[in-house]
Structure formats: structure tokens, C-alpha cells
Amino acid sequence: MQQTVVGVFDSIAEAQQAVATLTANGVARDRVQVSETTATSGTGSQLDASADEGMMSSIKHFFSGLFGDDDDHAVPYAEAVRRGGAIVKVNVEDDEELDRATQALDSAGAVDIEERANTWRAEGWQGGNPRAASAQSTLEGSNQGVVAGTTAATAATGTADTSASGTIPVIREELEVGKRTVGTGGVRVFARTVSEPVNESVDLRSEHAEVTRRPVDRPATEADLNALQDRTIEVRETAEKAVVSKTARVVEEVSVGKTVENRTENISDTVRHTEVEVERLAGGQDDARTSQGFESDFQTRYGSTGASYSDYEPAYRYGNSLRSDARYAGRQWDDVEPDARRDWETKNPGSAWEKSKEAVRHAWDKATQ
């Protein structure tokens, strides 16, 4: 989408210098227009009516497509030209070119038209609408414009009103770990009587009476004669029988109870918090000098690679922004680098840290000197 950057300068010489700066930053000359006047400069509020009308017509034509039929927006610009100033208008094709053009106009000395108009009104000037300088909030369509100067960086980053203020709540989640008792199982012991067959072997002895007769033929002796009387001989038979007896013995004891075991468990979870990053925006000579310092380092460090400064500008800006991050305050680069790398890769997925870290380091060193 095509956009338009407008810069107001106090003199045609400053405007021409801005044109040179723009072309040096890669903006094609045919995209740059300069509006100036040969009318006599002055600070009074009274103008010849026809001259004033002609001036307004010229400015409206110059801003054709930006302000439409709203004359109030063109009045401060016409007054700036009437007082001997000049206006530089740049048509850009994308946000990257928009940033380069805005920075070039600021570094060349573009004035804040709203602040300048307020100064004129304090001196008695009656023209214009107090909101005229907020052109970036009223310009719509494919020719959306940005006014260079103090408000330029705000417009380029999408802030609608440079006078607005707001509060960003910094929120941090905290992980609270407690404990509760839960059932994890248990044990139940049953005791029951079980019968099982047992086989044992035992040797048993038995006695049997035995009567033996044998024929004898001999003379009877006196002993035989004495034994000749009634008598009885008795022999008892015996036998062993298996006798079974049972004896109960305690062979094991089963105890049921509890043992207590303490253990430490590591809990892993994710908590969220708000990180507020503060980035300094270009808007003055100090920022211009810093940017030029980065470009000089780029030429020395990467100029022979064929890359453009815009490829490494985010890395320089990131390194410069670390100085306002409280997490890195008072720390050395070797200590900061691992954290800075994780932060960079999170915000710039696909951008190799090894490629950009020297640019980040250079900006860090400059910012912390």
C-alpha cells in the first residue's frame, strides 16, 4: 500500500538537503516532491486575500489526495510555506521504506508542524485548525500519510495520537504448590483354614506264635519224667499299629500396618507474565547520530557481504534497546548474551543469532559506555 511522508522545513536549503539525504538512503528521486514559494516571508497575520487564496490553492494541489476537501489541514502547511519554508513530500511503497524516509526527514531537521503552529498562534496567528497537524490520524485510503518531525516516529509505529497516554498492566502468574491426601490403593489380608492330604511312611512290626513238632526217639530222662505233669505254655502275639497325632506349630506371622515414606517431587508447569520492552524512537539529532554510528559500523563489519543496512538495523536497534531493560542492568555482555539470545530468537523466529549478534553487541557496547 502506497503511503506518503510529509516533512516541513524552515528553508528551501534545508529541504534540498533532506532530498539529498533521502536519495542517499535509497529513496528514488522521482518519488520526492518539494513545495516552496517565492512570496515575501513575514510573521504578520495579515495577507492580501488573493495571495492567501492562491497560496492555499497551491498547497491543496500539492497535497491532492491527502487532505481531500478539508482546508483546515492544509492551512498550517500553507503558513509554513508563506513564512519562507518548504515542504517535502515522499511517496513510499512499504513500511520499511516508510521508516527510512521518516528517519531521513527527521535527521535533516523536519519541524513539528503542530508545535510550530501553536507558537504562531501564541504570537497572534489566527489561521488553521488546532488539530491540523494530526494529519496521520485523518489521512485514509491507499495514500495514507505520515507527518515527519517530532510526531513522525509515533505515526510510523502506528500510534494514533502523540498526546495520548496509557497504562500497560504488568501481570505475573505465580505457581503455588500445595499437597492433599489421595487414596493410592492398599492391602487386605484374609486368613482361612485349608486342608491338604499328607502321606508319610512308617515301618510296623508284628509277632506271631509258632508251634513246631518234630519226631524224637530216645530214652526218657529223669527231667523228662519230672516234666510229666499238667502244664500250660502261653505265647502272646503282638503287632505294631500306626498311631497318628497332630501338633500345631506357629511357623510364620503376618503383620498388617503402615510405613511412611517421604519423597520430593519436582513440579513443572508454565506461568505467564507481562514483559514491557521500551524502544527509543528516532526523533532528534542524538538518535540521528546513533543511527549514523550504526551505519558506519555496518559498512565496516558487513559492507563487503553485499547485505543492506536494513537487514541488520533490527539487530542494532535491539542491542540499543537492551540498555533500558532492567533485567540486564549492571551486567556484563558475556553474562547477558544467553538471555539476550533467547529473547531475540523468540521475537525474531528464523533470524540466526550468530548472523546478528555482532551488530547487537556493538549497539550494546555503545549504549552502555
pLDDT for residue 161: 42
User: Average pLDDT for residues 118-139, to the nearest whole number?
Assistant: 61
Give the other-Cβ count within 10 Å of 83's Cβ: 18
Both 143 and 286 in one domain: the answer is no
Confidence of residue 179 (pLDDT cuts 50, 70, 90): confident
More confident residue, 46 or 112: 112
Tell me the percentage of the chain whose pLDDT exceeds 70: 75
Give the other-Cβ count within 10 Å of 95's Cβ: 13
> Is 175 inside a domain boundary?
no
User: Average pLDDT for residues 121-134, to the nearest whole number?
Assistant: 65
Confidence of residue 168 (pLDDT cuts 50, 70, 90): confident
pLDDT for residue 347: 84
Residue 4 host element (H or E): strand 3-9
> Is 119 inside a domain boundary?
yes
**E strands present in 108-187:** 144-147
Contact call for residues 91 and 68 (beta carbons, < 8 A): no
Alpha helices in the chain (DSSP H): 12-24, 49-62, 71-82, 95-107, 113-122, 152-156, 222-226, 285-302, 309-321, 333-347, 353-368
> Is 268 inside a domain boundary?
no
pLDDT for residue 233: 87
> Is 139 inside a domain boundary?
yes
Confidence of residue 55 (pLDDT cuts 50, 70, 90): low
Residue 358 host element (H or E): helix 353-368
Residue 138 clears pLDDT 90, i.e. is over it? no
Choosing from 104, 133, 162, the residue where a domain stops is: 162
Structural domain total, the chain: 2
Contact call for residues 171 and 300 (beta carbons, < 8 A): no
More confident residue, 276 or 257: 257
pLDDT for residue 252: 92
Both 158 and 12 in one domain: the answer is yes
pLDDT for residue 238: 93
Choosing from 130, 162, 194, the residue where a domain stops is: 162
> Is 266 inside a domain boundary?
no
Query: Mean pLDDT in the chain?
Result: 77
DSSP state of 313: H
Ranking 161-165, 169-173, 277-281 by mean pLDDT, the lowest is 161-165
Residue 130 clears pLDDT 70, i.e. is over it? no
Nearest to 95 by CA among 209, 27, 1, 204: 1
> Is 32 inside a domain boundary?
yes
User: Average pLDDT for residues 286-296, to the nearest whole number?
Assistant: 64
Contact call for residues 138 and 73 (beta carbons, < 8 A): yes
Q: What is the dihedral of CA 293, 294, 299, 303, to 10 degrees?
A: 180
Determine the 3-state secondary structure of 249 from DSSP: coil
Tell me the percentage of the chain whose pLDDT exceeds 90: 8
Give the pairing type, strands 144-147 and 3-9.
Answer: parallel
Choosing from 146, 162, 178, the residue where a domain stops is: 162
User: Average pLDDT for residues 25-53, to the nearest whole number?
Assistant: 62
DSSP state of 284: S
Residue 34 host element (H or E): strand 32-35
More confident residue, 232 or 277: 232
Confidence of residue 180 (pLDDT cuts 50, 70, 90): confident
Please work out, in degrees rounded to the nearest 5, the angle formed at the alpha carbon of residue 149 by the alpha carbons of 146 and 153.
Answer: 60
> Is 181 inside a domain boundary?
no
DSSP state of 239: B
**Cβ neighbours of residue 222 closer than 8 Å, sequence gap 6 or more:** none
- Residue 348 buriedness (CB in 10 A; 0-12 / 13-18 / 19+): middle
Both 3 and 141 in one domain: the answer is yes
pLDDT for residue 45: 40
User: Average pLDDT for residues 132-140, to the nearest whole number?
Assistant: 37
Quote the domain boundaries for residue 345. Answer: 276-369
pLDDT for residue 368: 73
pLDDT for residue 157: 35
Residue 25 clears pLDDT 80, i.e. is over it? yes
pLDDT for residue 253: 92
Please work out, in degrees rounded to the nearest 5, the angle formed at the alpha carbon of residue 139 by the alpha carbons of 138 and 142.
Answer: 150
> Is 200 inside a domain boundary?
no
User: Average pLDDT for residues 188-210, to the nearest whole number?
Assistant: 90
